[in-house]
Chains A and B, each alone.
Chain A
Amino acid sequence: MSDVFPGLLNYWIAIVLMMVGFYIVIAQGNLIKKIVGLNIFQVAVFVFYISMGKVKGGTAPILGEGIDVYSNPLPHFLILTAIVVGVATTSLALALIVRINTSFGTIEEDEILELEHADDAKEETS
């Protein structure tokens, strides 16, 4: 077990962070907090990828004199793209939250559901 632990710690950190984000997304009612949880989840996946690209004794993938070992540039590129796309989707989600707030006057999930049920009940009686 003692030789397993140091080699896999990076994956375990990523998984713990991922699960914290996952818990926030499914258990918290506040929509902004859900987005923050989604961000935590996202960054955990990024850390996972980047840690896979690391090579022992390697340097950053910028060519230079007298350097032989580089870390893998491919995960870096993929995550670079993913960060930008992630912020784009986050901004879209936040815009939707603003819209929901103007319609319902709240950003708590259970209150929104209550309002929706109340509306449905009103329509049925009328």
Chain B
Amino acid sequence: MAVTAVFMLWLRDLVAVIMLSGIYSLFAAMIYVVMDAVDVAFTEAAVGAGVATVLMLGTLALTRQGTEKVHKTISWGPLSLVLVTGAVLIYGTLDMPRYGDPNAPVHSHVAPRYIERSASEVGPPNIVTSVLASYRGYDTLGETAVVFTAAIGVLVILGRRNRRQRKKAKREDAT
């Protein structure tokens, strides 16, 4: 996964970069399955690897910019910033609970309640579904609102261009 990410950094051909980002998402989905998050893996494979790749290829087709301009290969300012940030973050993880630790603070608040009571309170055997639809229904409502807003935004941004082109065409017809 890290290898695909680094390749994405080096490659100049944008089609290849986008394909690699799809592969990267698919790797992420596989890792989610390993870490027991099957629902997330489904979503990542369908939405992250599928829809996002198609959207990016569509953008590439609309902009007709096949390859990236060649810059100087390494820019030191950003690189040092990135390295410092990474070092600080790694220092921060030294206090984190170990991988798979059942006593980690993440597992201590509402999660056990979801696991114990969701079958009797909501119904479906899949706990993630119960949480999604019932306990955190407002989050899901907000999510749909965000998606709706994004769809409107895309339509407004791309629709305006088409209207102008149509007007131009009409003017050319008139003259």
Contacts and interface: CB of A to CB of B under 8 A. Distances in A.
Given A12-B90, A24-B8, A91 B43 contact: no
A118 interface: no
Nearest to B103: A55
B102 to A, nearest CB: 5
Interface in B133-159: 136, 139-140, 143, 146-147, 149-151, 153-154, 157-158
11 contacts: A15-B93, A26-B78, A26-B81, A32-B63, A40-B5, A50-B37, A52-B97, A52-B106, A54-B99, A86-B48, A87-B55
A36 B21 contact: yes
B119 to A, nearest CB: 5
Query: Chain A's interface: helix, strand, loop or mixed, by majority?
Result: helix
| Chain B interface SS verdict (over half) | helix
A81 B139 contact: yes
Interface in B1-46: 1-2, 5-6, 8-9, 14, 17-18, 21, 24-25, 28, 31-32, 35-40, 43-44
B40 A43 contact: no
Contacts of B60: 32
Interface of B: 1-2, 5-6, 8-9, 14, 17-18, 21, 24-25, 28, 31-32, 35-40, 43-44, 47-48, 51-52, 55-56, 58-60, 62-63, 65, 68-69, 71, 75, 78-79, 81-83, 85-86, 89-90, 93-94, 96-102, 104, 106-107, 110-111, 114-115, 118-119, 125-128, 131-132, 136, 139-140, 143, 146-147, 149-151, 153-154, 157-158, 161
